[in-house]
Chain A
């Protein structure tokens, strides 16, 4: 081969290499733009209100439906979502959370019994000084702090939000993660038909995208307390009920979210009745919360799902009287 031919070959090689490198560089951002986010659904045991499948406190079945809805979401762009389901988690280490964008927890309260009900918190040690956890447990909870600060969102549903009567470290972590906390003699759980209205001042919050006022039946753990003037908290929903098992409930804030740096936290005290998942506004609100908790952009109009199975329980046959304004409220009238 002559010298010129050798030079030509070298040139051709360089061009080919540069072209390949260029195309790789071009294709790299495409990969980078589609990150994977893993959302964990953690159900505590169904430990009260009849057997599983009867339609209330369906910790496992509620979350399976929500997982199915997220898996079947059709309008979430720019992210590959993976979901995992864990039932009755009892770990006190964070090994299973390390790839996690969000943990979504539905369970009974940490104070409800001496056996483990809460996938995050072990039972309160009744005999320990000030009912405090041992060092290993406190270290584990501090590690969850670190995970949240690094971007792992935390969302608790229903009775799992109620930490009143727990020890100081549980209360402190609730405040740190969510900016709100339940307290004795005040936090309650009225059961009835709730009229739920998005808060006007928060209407631009991603979680309220596509969420209109709705009326539905629920037992909502509410009356949590917050720090006044806390810039990291956004109040989202007001709720009221003319008639509940605890009397009439005046309008009060029933849902807030917390965002401080990379850390996101959500407490939602509803999600007693499995049938609530059939209400489109309720379902969208909860799906938006899950997506937002995971640090994913909530689509315009809210999360849309094509999930077919929204019920994993048999429908209740008990007679039920809805409020007179049920249909009107759900069609947008006051």
Chain B
């Protein structure tokens, strides 16, 4: 082999190898970019009879449903009773889903994101720095879905964070409330094209729903998704101690809304998810799964997220 031929052939072979390697790298990169991690954060089960406030079990069912769904490229992780004051364990999450009691429900930490409410106004420096990092993480794209009593945070510094993420808060002391009973849930007609409502039809079920949120008027970033109402005829009450039954009701109200921050980050606030058995209600389940997928910046399938998971309880 002449010297020139050898150099030319070697160069060609080198280029081919480099291109092949680059192609492989691009493929691997693309594949990993398509995989999104969703982290489920369950608070401790700190109250309620079996079958209610089953934070961990509810979230494990939701994670399983996503693992077995028509949305590919999702990995899931469930963390129980999280208490850290740094963001290292969630910094690679495309979305976090939080189901717990409120930060003000106990002197111990019950909310996976916020410590006990303390003085109700602020926290120590370390915690404030943690909240700042948490907010930056969300602003950079991490979606957040908050469910049931986790919608309620009582420390005003935590409320400010929620305000950034959701454009609204639950104010337990003078407005918001959590009626329990048989609810009629109806997707908001004017927003039925929102991806979260794909495939979701009205449903009726038993739940305790934290709602009557306070939001910003005329906020273009918020989309109200579900109206809920408890009618007297569906909630006749029980006779106790010889007293006649007292029907309960709750006025028609927004019980779930989505928020897309100016940065593009997404949040969903929904105060339902009390009874574990509700996972058996297909429209409710689909609404929850769509919400999680949307918050993670994943396209919600045309007919909504459909799961083949068998064990929903």
Contacts and interface: CB of A to CB of B under 8 A. Distances in A.
Interface stretch (A228-236, A309-317, A321-329): A228-236
Contact of B159 (A180, A185, A223): A185
A227 B213 CA distance: 6
Nearest to B160: A185
B257 A228 contact: yes
Contacts of A224: 217
A222 to B, nearest CB: 10
A172 B176 CA distance: 11
Contacts of B159: 183, 185
A301 interface: no
A154 B171 CA distance: 24
Contact of B175 (A172, A199, A252, A253): A172
Given A171-B173, A186-B160, A225 B218 contact: no
A294 B220 CA distance: 32
Contact of B215 (A172, A199, A227, A256): A227
Interface in B254-309: 254, 257
Interface in B144-174: 156-157, 159-160, 163, 168-169, 171, 173-174
B293 to A, nearest CB: 23
Given A185-B156, A229-B254, A168 B217 contact: no
Contacts of A184: 121, 156
A252 B216 contact: yes
Does more than half of chain A's interface fall in helix, strand or loop, or is it mixed? Answer: mixed
Contacts of B218: 199, 235, 238, 252-253
B266 to A, nearest CB: 17
B253 interface: yes
B227 interface: yes
Contact of A175 (B157, B175, B227): B175
Interface string A181-192: 101111000000
B214 interface: yes
A34 interface: no
Contacts of A172: 174-175
Nearest to A225: B214
Contact of A168 (B174, B224, B227, B253): B174
A127 B160 CA distance: 27
B174 A228 contact: no
B175 A228 contact: no
B98 to A, nearest CB: 20
B214 A181 contact: yes
B120 to A, nearest CB: 10
Contacts of A233: 217
A256 B219 CA distance: 14
B109 interface: no
Interface in A212-242: 223-229, 233, 235, 238
A228 B254 contact: yes
Interface residues of B, number: 26
A184 B217 CA distance: 17
B238 to A, nearest CB: 29
Interface in A161-188: 168-169, 171-172, 175, 180-181, 183-186
B217 A226 contact: yes
A121 to B, nearest CB: 14
A227 B212 contact: yes
A253 B217 contact: yes
Nearest to B257: A228
B222 interface: yes
B227 to A, nearest CB: 7
Contacts of B174: 168-169, 171-172, 175, 181
A228 B160 contact: no
Given A228-B224, A229-B253, A183 B214 contact: yes
Nearest to A170: B174
A122 to B, nearest CB: 18
Contacts of A229: 188, 224, 227, 253-254
Interface string A248-291: 00001100100000000000000000000000000000000000
A266 B163 CA distance: 25
B217 A235 contact: yes
A278 to B, nearest CB: 28
Contacts of B224: 228-229
Contacts of B227: 229
A173 B91 CA distance: 42
A226 B175 CA distance: 10
A148 to B, nearest CB: 18
Given A172-B175, A256-B217, A227 B157 contact: no
A227 B214 CA distance: 5
Given A175-B174, A175-B175, A186-B163, A226 B214 contact: yes
B168 A168 contact: no
26 contacts: A171-B171, A171-B174, A180-B217, A183-B214, A184-B121, A184-B156, A185-B156, A185-B159, A185-B160, A225-B168, A225-B169, A225-B215, A225-B216, A225-B217, A226-B214, A227-B253, A228-B168, A228-B213, A228-B222, A228-B254, A229-B224, A229-B227, A252-B216, A253-B216, A253-B217, A256-B217
State the 6 A-B residue pairs at the shortest beta-carbon distance, nearest first: A225-B214, A253-B218, A228-B254, A171-B174, A253-B217, A168-B174
